[in-house]
């Protein structure tokens, strides 16, 4: 591809963004924020931010991924600002989650099953994402927030503690609980349960 071709593969006109990407960004924002009004505002801020920073688009990612990157930053900023209004978590209240998964000797109550489907295969991936998002919705919001900041946004633990206003110990407890619960939920609802044919 020549430099001239590269230039022609620029951004589409901003007035077309809302119809093209509005719903997909909104759905993601609802998953992260669990509040449609806030999600709408985040999507609006994403588009307006993109409009102001069109020059920063470097052609290395697709237009959709570029907008998605802006939305991710807006959501993290939102968490940062909202933390002052959140009640302080009591990590002790959460410590009993272990009893769901481990007995009093610390052994698995129900050992992880072998997954029948191979989630790595492309054909099955859309099913993975659909069921996983249902599992995320079952997590308490703060725990889902911590998990997604880590695994989707790729923030480091120290940053997540700062964004959510929680201690490191509390963060580890939340992350551990999220991982145990999500793995079990996925297994229950997809990989061993339900029709597999």
Q: Does 164 bind other proteins (CB under 8 A)?
A: no
**Which tokens sit at 101?**
């998964």
Q: Which of residues 173-192 bind other proteins (CB under 8 A)?
A: 175-176, 179-180, 182-183, 186-187
Q: Does 92 bind other proteins (CB under 8 A)?
A: no
Which 8-state DSSP code applies to residue 82? H
Which 8-state DSSP code applies to residue 143? H
Q: Does 97 bind other proteins (CB under 8 A)?
A: no
Neighbours of 150 (CB within 10 A): 19
- Cα(195)–Cα(197) distance, integer angstroms: 6
CB nearer to other proteins: pick between 94 and 187:
187
Q: Give 15: exposed, middle or buried? Use CB within 10 Å, 0-12, 13-18, 19+.
A: exposed
As measured in angstroms, the least distance from the Cβ of 3 to other proteins is: 29
Task: Give residues in contact with other proteins (CB under 8 A).
Answer: 14-15, 17-19, 22-24, 26-28, 30-31, 36, 40, 43-44, 47-48, 51, 64, 68, 98, 101-102, 105-108, 111-112, 114-115, 119-120, 125-126, 128-130, 132-133, 136, 151-152, 154, 157, 172, 175-176, 179-180, 182-183, 186-187
């Amino acid at each position: 591809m020549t430099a001239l071709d590269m230039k022609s593969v620029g951004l589409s006109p901003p007035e077309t963004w809302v119809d093209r990407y509005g719903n997909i960004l909104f759905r993601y924002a609802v998953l992260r924020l669990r509040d449609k009004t806030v999600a709408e505002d985040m999507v609006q801020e994403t588009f307006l931010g993109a409009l102001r920073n069109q020059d920063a688009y470097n052609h290395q990612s697709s237009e959709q991924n570029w907008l998605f990157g802006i939305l991710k930053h807006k959501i993290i900023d939102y968490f940062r600002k909202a933390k002052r209004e959140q009640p302080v978590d009591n990590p002790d209240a959460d410590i009993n989650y272990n009893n769901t998964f481990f007995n009093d000797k610390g052994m698995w109550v129900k050992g992880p099953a072998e997954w029948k489907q191979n989630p790595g295969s492309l054909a099955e991936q859309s099913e993975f994402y659909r069921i996983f998002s249902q599992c995320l919705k079952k997590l308490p919001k703060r725990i889902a927030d911590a998990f997604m900041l880590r695994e989707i946004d790729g923030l480091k633990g120290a940053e997540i503690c700062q964004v959510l206003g929680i201690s490191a110990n509390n963060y580890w407890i939340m992350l551990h609980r999220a991982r145990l619960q999500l793995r079990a939920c996925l297994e229950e609802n997809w990989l061993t349960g339900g029709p597999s044919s």
